[in-house]
Amino acid sequence: MTVSVEGELVNMVSEEQTKSKLALLGGEKAVKSEQGDMFAWPIVTERHEQAVLRVLRAGQMSGFEITKEFEKKYAGMLGRKFGLAYHNGTAAILGAMYGLGIGVGDEVIAPSLTYWATAAPAYTLGATPVFADVDPETICIDPKDIEHRITPRTKAIIVVHYAGMPADMDAIMKIAGKHNLKVLEDCSHAHGALYKGKEIGTFGDVAAFSLMTSKSLAIGEGGILFTDDRQVYERALLFGHYIRHDEITLKELKPFVGLPCGGFKHRMHQLSSAFGLVQLELYPQQMAEIDRAMNYFCDLLDDSSGIKPMRPPKGTNTTKGGWYFPLFKYVTEELEGLSLSRFSEAVRAEGSLCNPGCNKPMHLHPLFPTTSASFGGSVSFVEFNRAVNFPISKNKINVQIHILKRLHKIFQLLLDIWSPEIKCERTPHLLFAE
Ligand SMILES: Cc1ncc(COP(=O)(O)O)c(C=O)c1O
């Protein structure tokens, strides 16, 4: 059967067929469209192609004028004074750290559950990451686990709005204020997300975003930092943007202009900037559609056993932006021991993506415990081994609802493991045993 929605076509088996047998057990796949087509991201339109071609034809690849336009436009949308673009998000975090004055002997407190680029650039500056636990509700740094890790060397708290979930910024900003610490927001998973109605990336002293190709706001490879603080901006310029040193006005920085203080060349490729300018125009609409579809999906799953949607409480005006890798909590105990890997395998067999887990907590990697002078004990709680991740087809946004409805039916079948369809074949324990 082919479902047509607003002109888009998605191949699916009928409801009856889906109910009769799971694909894992030899039934027909619920979603038959090619995954490459369904999950390709970002969406590349003729406008993107034209924008990129213009740069190529004008021979502007190594300049920075289009990049400046991109920075200005994005900073304007976010309501921040300064934007500075980078060739990737890791470099933007390094530049942000230098901008804040983080240096030799300093410590930065970061969540253990994140991608390494949140914290590892501290080493480049001679500083040390100290890891804190995550709050199981937000899956972001737990404000209750920050204060006891603060020492006289602590310079900053790094917040990650993990998997699109905004961190508890009220509590974090209060702690930072009390201890006179800087706050760096790593917003790489949460472009456009709101915390109590205010956009993430506007709370800390500086915010850094990855813009690489899988991110919600994707421009190819790229990163950007935002700040309202001229000193942070100019220090970041000094560190890795020597070609733009004419923008430096601060007296203490002036003697150093001409060479990059960090020995880095951080500028963004102009092709990415041109692509990004188009993305900025399309993203708000895309984000709104993804948000609508994912909330719909979560509403369907809200009362299911075993799968708990991870999203901000309703009515708080806190949102997940573009839902970069949507995470759900998986509770094996509620599913008669059905393993996460087996569950994921069954969903994948139906033609959807589904991956168990998320980033491995960093404090478990030998790089950190062996080099971190002040690792403050063990992190008590991490959710990484209880998470399941259903990447949604952002490409076919206008057929989301139908795909999700169908996937929900599959989940119900899987979750309701005593259902006659499955029970009549074998006992659930045997069926789903690892
Ligand atoms: C939380 C987080 N921070 C930083 C980065 C680094 O960004 P990039 O890959 O653009 O260097 C990533 C990238 O995946 C990330 O997930």
Q: How high is the mean pLDDT in each 10-residue block of the chain (434 residues)?
A: 38 49 76 72 93 94 95 98 98 98 96 94 94 88 93 97 96 98 98 98 98 95 98 98 97 96 95 98 91 82 81 95 86 76 79 79 78 44 57 53 57 51 35 32
| d(C-alpha 354, C-alpha 392), whole Å | 9
Mutation pick for ligand 1 pocket among 212, 224, 269 (CB with most ligand atoms within 8 Å): 212
CA of 189 to the centre of ligand 1 (A): 8
What pLDDT was estimated at residue 320?
Answer: 95
Question: What SS3 state is found at 285?
Answer: helix
Query: Which residues share a beta bridge with 223?
Result: 86, 210
Q: Where are the beta strands (DSSP E) in 64-214?
A: 82-86, 107-111, 128-132, 154-160, 182-186, 194-195, 198-199, 206-210
Q: Is 86 in the pocket of ligand 1 (CB under 6 A)?
A: no
Domains 46-277 and 283-422 share a fold: no
Q: Is 98 in the pocket of ligand 1 (CB under 6 A)?
A: no
User: Is 215 a residue of the active site?
Assistant: yes
Tens of pLDDT, residues 123-151: 999 999 999 988 888 889 999 999 999 99
Phi, psi of 17 (to 5 degrees): -60, -40
CA of 3 to the centre of ligand 1 (A): 36
pTM recorded for the entire structure: 0.88
SS (H, E, C) 139-151: CCECHHHCHHHCC
CA of 188 to the centre of ligand 1 (A): 6
User: Can you tell me which atom of ligand 1 is nearest the CA of 212?
Assistant: 10
From the candidates 182, 215, 308, 320, give the one annotated as an active-site residue: 215
What pLDDT was estimated at residue 39?
Answer: 73
Domain ranges of the chain: 46-277, 283-422
For 340-383, give the DSSP string. Answer: HHHHHHHHHHTT---EE--PPPGGGSTHHHHH-TT--S------
Q: Is 359 in the pocket of ligand 1 (CB under 6 A)?
A: no
What pLDDT was estimated at residue 410?
Answer: 62
Q: Is 157 in the pocket of ligand 1 (CB under 6 A)?
A: no
Protein residue with its CA nearest to atom 7 in ligand 1: 89
What pLDDT was estimated at residue 228?
Answer: 98
What pLDDT was estimated at residue 229?
Answer: 98
What pLDDT was estimated at residue 167?
Answer: 98
CATH class, range 46-277: alpha beta
What pLDDT was estimated at residue 348?
Answer: 81
CATH class, range 283-422: alpha beta
Q: Is 18 in the pocket of ligand 1 (CB under 6 A)?
A: no
